[in-house]
Structure 1
Amino acid sequence: MEVTIKKLTAFRLDSNLLDMLKSAAKREHRSLNNFVECLLMDAMYTEPNEETKAAIEEARAGKNLKKVDTSSFENFIKSCSE
Structure 2
Amino acid sequence: MKLLKVQTAFRFDEELLELVKEKAKAQRRSLNNYIEGLLHKDVGSIPNEETKKAIEEARSSKNLERINDLDTWVANL
Output the TM-score relative to the length of structure 1.
0.52
Q: Any runs of at least 4 consecutive aligned residues in structure 1 with deviations exceeding 6 A, and if so which? A: none
Structure of higher RCO (CA pairs closer than 8 Å, 6+ residues apart): 1
Q: Which amino acid aligns with 1:20?
A: L
1:15-54 matches, within 5 Å, as 15-46=14-45
Q: CA deviation at 1:45?
A: 2.7
| Percent identical residues | 41
Instruction: Compare CA radii of gyration and give the structure with the larger one.
Output: 1
5+ residue gaps, structure 1: 48-82
Distance 2:33 2:44 in 1: 16
Question: How far apart are residue 4 of structure 1 and its match?
Answer: 1.2
Unaligned runs of 5+ in 2: 47-77
With normalisation by structure 2, the TM-score equals 0.55
Root-mean-square deviation (CA, aligned residues, Å) is 1.4
